Amino acid sequence: WGPDDDDDQQRRGASGPVRVRVPAKVNLHLGVGPLRRDGYHELNTVYHAISIYDELTARRGDTLILTMEGEGTGELALDDTNLAIRAARALAGYAGVPPHVRLHLRKQIPLAGGLAGGSADAAAALVACDALWGTGLSRDELAGIAADLGSDVPFLIHGGTALGTGRGEAVSPVLARPTSWHWVVAIADGGLSTPAAYAELDRLREAGAAGPPLGSTDGLLAALRQRDPRVLAASLGNDLQDAALAMRPSLAGTLKAGEAAGALASIVSGSGPTCVFLAANADDADRIAAELATAGVCRQARTAHGPVPGARIG
Ligand code: C5P
């Protein structure tokens, strides 16, 4: 079983099912710049992959089918608007193979929650189909296809902690000494629309009602290097938080409840409504999650750690 066998295996593809696990993301820093002519905002962000996962299984078939179970899947379209289906089609088109695969998704990442659940499924579909079909693309080639599917998709191929620029699709890893951070994730009832959150931020800014923009990621990157959760806590920031709070005022109570329970920092994840809390250690995270679960400020509170790898087979 040498390198040549490996190459052969890649060309042939896998005969059996390919299972891929893909994490959720939070933004430790989400600096939103001006609206561009293409309808996107320029971002300065630090992505961080956390240990809440969707699992996608790809099997050989003679057509393209997606089935699902788990978190909120009754509301998800199973047609060509679904990002996992679009990802499979995009890869097939790029590699010149028929888009034949049976995909089954087990969802734990909430829908429209600000944790990039849809983007995660697209990243998982790219990695799974690449292995099943034996198309053998490099991670960079996959990330190129990923960028066309959504701004967060390239990051979910890579995982870890990474800097995102452009509209978020240009990703470079943040090299830090290995540290595991402990988080509590408060999942809300119902989702928030990402385009609506960006539009609300534009509206608040025009009305002079938004906080000053976060700008550069330098402070956050320096904080990550110090490996002290209290230092990291002081550097977390999200320009979309004002917009999420304007759209869902009850989130202010969720954020406060986390701090009252001993979180070092509380922040809205991406465009919300999921809130994330930084804990000093794993025990504190367990305790904060238990308190949030009984406080009636969220549908579900879970602990997670990060960084974790992106979409991976196994
Ligand atoms: O890239 P993605 O399809 O996930 O983006 C969804 C929507 O979020 C975009 O259509 C846009 O309205 C908004 N968005 C933005 N600026 C970004 C990323 C997303 O305005 N950098």
CATH code, domain with 271: 3.30.70.890
Let me know if residue 35 belongs to a domain: yes
Question: How close is the Cα of 169 to the center of ligand 1, in Å?
Answer: 10
- Helices 117-133 and 83-95 cross at an angle (nearest 10°) of 40
Contact 294, 226 (CB under 8 A): no
Question: Tell me: the pLDDT tens digits for 61-96?
Answer: 999 999 999 977 777 777 888 999 999 999 999 999
Cis bond leading into 307, ω under 30°?
yes
For the cut 70, the answer to whether the pLDDT of residue 203 exceeds it is yes
CATH classification of the domain holding 144: 3.30.230.10
Identify the helix (H) or strand (E) that includes residue 120.
Answer: helix 117-133
Q: Is 43 in the pocket of ligand 1 (CB under 6 A)?
A: yes
Residue with tokens 């890893």, as numbered in its chain: 173
Task: For the chain, give the mean pLDDT.
Answer: 93
220 and 159 in a common domain:
no
Let me know if residue 313 belongs to a domain: no
Using most ligand atoms within 8 A of CB, pick from 151, 153, 240 the residue to mutate for ligand 1: 151
Predicted ipTM of the assembly: 0.99
Active site (annotated) includes residue 5: no
Single out the catalytic residue among 130, 152, 239, 284.
152
Give me the pLDDT at residue 3, please: 45
Active site (annotated) includes residue 152: yes
Question: How close is the Cα of 195 to the center of ligand 1, in Å?
Answer: 6
Using most ligand atoms within 8 A of CB, pick from 29, 32, 198 the residue to mutate for ligand 1: 198
168 and 36 in a common domain:
yes
Let me know if residue 62 belongs to a domain: yes
β-sheet bridge partners, residue 59: 102
135 and 18 in a common domain:
yes
Let me know if residue 201 belongs to a domain: yes
185 and 58 in a common domain:
no
191 and 163 in a common domain:
no
Let me know if residue 117 belongs to a domain: yes
Share of the chain above pLDDT 70, in %: 96
β-sheet bridge partners, residue 32: 43
- The domain of 98 spans 3-174
Give residue 176's pLDDT band: very low, low, confident or very high (50, 70, 90). confident
Let me know if residue 227 belongs to a domain: yes
Residue with tokens 């499924």, as numbered in its chain: 121
106 and 70 in a common domain:
yes
For residue 17, is it left (φ>0), alpha (ψ between -120 and 50) or beta? beta
For the cut 80, the answer to whether the pLDDT of residue 233 exceeds it is yes
Residue with tokens 């089918």, as numbered in its chain: 65
Question: How close is the Cα of 42 to the center of ligand 1, in Å?
Answer: 10
Atom 14 of ligand 1 has which residue's CA nearest to it? Answer: 40
Neighbours of 277 (CB within 10 A): 29
Total domain count, the chain: 2
Domain boundary among the residues 152, 174, 196 is at 174
The atom number, within ligand 1, closest to the CA of 43 reads 21
Give me the pLDDT at residue 2, please: 41
Task: Give per-residue burial for 210-235: e unless 16+ CB within 10 Å, then b.
Answer: beeebeebeebbebbeeeebeebbeb
221 and 156 in a common domain:
no
143 and 99 in a common domain:
yes
Give me the sign of the Cα torsion angle 21, 156, 27, 79: negative
Let me know if residue 113 belongs to a domain: yes
Q: Is 150 in the pocket of ligand 1 (CB under 6 A)?
A: yes
Residues found in the chain: 314
Token duo for residue 239? 């320009």
Give residue 12's pLDDT band: very low, low, confident or very high (50, 70, 90). low
The atom number, within ligand 1, closest to the CA of 152 reads 4
Give 197's contacts (C-beta < 8 A, 6+ positions apart): 240, 243, 244, 247, 271, 272
158 and 31 in a common domain:
yes
Domain boundary among the residues 116, 149, 174 is at 174
197 and 160 in a common domain:
no
Domain boundary among the residues 114, 148, 174 is at 174
Give me the sign of the Cα torsion angle 264, 285, 240, 178: positive
Let me know if residue 31 belongs to a domain: yes
128 and 13 in a common domain:
yes
134 and 25 in a common domain:
yes
